[in-house]
Structure 1
Amino acid sequence: MMEVTLKLRIPNTWMDGMKKDIKILECIPHGKGGKSLIEINGKDKEIKNVIEEIKKHPFVCNIETSPIKGGVLATVETTRCTACKALADSDCFLTSAVGKDGYVEWHLIAGGEKSLPDLIERLCNYGCEVEIKSIKKIDQKNLLTERQEEIVRMAFEKGYYEYPKKIRIRDLAEMLNIAPSTLAEILQRGEKKIISAYFEEKNTRTYSG
Structure 2
Amino acid sequence: MAQATLTLTMPEQVWIQQLSTAYPTTTFRVLAAVPGSETGFALVRISGPEVADVVADMRDHPQILEVTLAQSSNNEATVHFETTAPLLLFSARESGIPIELPVEIVDGEATIEVTGSRDRLAELVDQFERYGLSYRIEHVRERLHESQLLSDRQLEVVVAAVEAGYYDTPRRCSLTELADHLGIAKSTCSETLHRAEEGIIKRFVDDLPDFDSEESLEDQLASS
Taking the TM superposition and a 5 Å limit, the aligned residue runs for 1:86-165 are 86-96=91-101, 97-109=103-115, 111-141=116-146
Paired residue for 1:2? 2
How far residue 117 of structure 1 moved from its aligned partner, in angstroms, is: 1.0
How far residue 48 of structure 1 moved from its aligned partner, in angstroms, is: 0.5
> Is the 1:32–1:79 Cα contact (8 Å) retained in structure 2?
yes
Identity of aligned residues (%): 20
How far residue 88 of structure 1 moved from its aligned partner, in angstroms, is: 0.6
Q: Which runs of 5+ in 1 are unaligned?
A: 143-209
Paired residue for 1:192? none
Are 2:80 and 1:75 equivalent residues in the alignment? Answer: yes
How far residue 68 of structure 1 moved from its aligned partner, in angstroms, is: 5.8
Q: Deviations over 1:160-198 (max 9, x none)?
A: xxxxxxxxxxxxxxxxxxxxxxxxxxxxxxxxxxxxxxx
Paired residue for 1:190? none
Distance 2:128 2:137 in 1: 12
Q: 1:102 to 1:56 in 2, by over 3 A?
A: farther
Paired residue for 2:67? 63
> Is the 1:15–1:100 Cα contact (8 Å) retained in structure 2?
no
How far residue 42 of structure 1 moved from its aligned partner, in angstroms, is: 4.1
> Is the 2:27–2:48 Cα contact (8 Å) retained in structure 1?
no
Structure 1 or 2: larger helix share?
2
Q: Which runs of 5+ in 2 are unaligned?
A: 148-224
Paired residue for 2:54? 50
> Is the 2:42–2:82 Cα contact (8 Å) retained in structure 1?
yes
- Between the two proteins, the alignment pairs up a number of residues equal to 139
How far residue 113 of structure 1 moved from its aligned partner, in angstroms, is: 1.9
Partner SS for 1:15: helix
How far residue 75 of structure 1 moved from its aligned partner, in angstroms, is: 1.0
Are 2:38 and 1:16 equivalent residues in the alignment? Answer: no
Q: CA RMSD in A?
A: 2.0
Give runs of ≥4 in structure 1 deviating > 3 Å: none
Distance 2:5 2:104 in 1: 11
- TM, length-normalised to structure 2: 0.56
Deviates more, 1:2-11 or 1:115-124: 2-11
